[in-house]
Structures are given as C-alpha cells and as structure tokens.
Amino acid sequence: MTNLSKPSVTNKCLCALLFALSLACFAQVNSSKSSQDVPRVISAGLPRYPPIAEAARVTGRVTVRLTVKSGKVVKTEVINADVRNGSHILLPQTGSHWLTVPTEENVKSWQFESSVNGTFAVNYIYEISGTESDNPTNPKIEILPSLDVTITARPVKPTVNY
C-alpha cells in the first residue's frame, strides 16, 4: 500500500521537470513576441462598419500594408481582400470596395510615435453576428496589440414598405 499523503521522489522530480518546461516555454514565447516589436498607435480615427456593407450583410477580412515615416502613415496598399456576401466572394466591381475603401481611409488616420518608420501589415475583420435588432446599433470594435482590428455589427431586421 502506498502512502498518498507524502509525494514520492519520482512525483517531485516529475512536477519540477514540468514546471521548468512550462517556464522555458513561457520565456520562449515572450522572447519571440518582443522581437516582433509592434509600433504603438498614439491616435486613430474610430473605425466604422460601413452602413451599406452592414445593411447588405457584407463581411470579410482586409489586409492593408502601411508605410510609416516619422510616425505618419504616408502610404497604404490593400494586399488582400476576402470580402463576402454570404458565401459569395465579392470582387472590386461587385462590392469589395465597400470594405476596402473605408479600411484604407481609417488606417490613414493612424498616428504613431514620431520615431516609427517602416512598413507593416494590419488586418481589419468585419463580422456580423448576434441576434437581429429592430434598429441599427453601434458595432463592437476591438484593436488588438498586434494592431489587427475587428469590427462586429449586429444584423438589423430588414424593413418592408408597401
């Protein structure tokens, strides 16, 4: 019969080894994050879910490449746009500009610390989720430390006028 009140030497060694491994993994993850320094935004315009895109229930992901000089955004370029209406992919001539144009306009309003220079990419994710509301509501906006932006709007019940 084993004594459960006292941990065995093997259990102590195993716990110490697991603890050391978890610390090593934590240190490795944190060191890789610090090597990818993300510049700090000091001001930005509030991103919006474009009303026409929200009404048409257009969703998607827009990736923009920013060029920053002395803290100011001097150039933007959409490098990828996966814009959809339901399961249909929207091309520029059929509506993807409903999300790409406002994304570029918003990111041009970003101001970084004056020491920031360089080029990097940010993602804007436009989602529609939740229960339908009778009237438009303010979307939920999240800006992550990676500078990726998620804008989530609630669907609005369609109105029918006869």
Which residue bears the tokens 């992919």? 89
Location of structure tokens 């998607």: 60
- Give the whole-number percent of the chain exceeding pLDDT 70: 77
Q: Give pLDDT tens digits for 85-114.
A: 887 888 776 778 999 999 999 999 999 999
Distance CA 158, CA 8 (A): 67
- Say what the pLDDT of residue 63 is: 96
Distance of CA 58 to the CA centre of its chain: 17
CA distances from 41 to 30, 94, 109, 112, 144 (A): 21, 33, 10, 5, 11
Q: Which residue has the higher pLDDT, 88 or 46?
A: 46
For residue 27, give the amino acid letter: A
Nearest C-alpha neighbor of 49 from the set 99, 123, 89: 99
Residue-wise pLDDT for 1-39, tens only, equals 444 444 444 444 333 333 333 333 333 333 333 435 788
Q: What is the pLDDT of residue 36?
A: 57
> The tokens of 37 are what?
């320094």
**SS3 label, residue 66:** strand
Reported as a single tens digit per residue, the pLDDT across 108-149 is: 999 999 999 999 999 999 999 999 988 888 999 999 988 999
What is the CB-side half-sphere exposure of residue 131 using CA atoms within 13 A? 2
Mean pLDDT of 66-76: 96
> Counting beta carbons within 10 angstroms of the beta carbon of residue 15, is it exposed (0 to 12), middle (13 to 18) or buried (19 or more)?
exposed
Q: What percent of the chain has pLDDT over 90?
A: 52
CB 47 within 8 A of CB 101: no
Mean pLDDT for the chain?
80
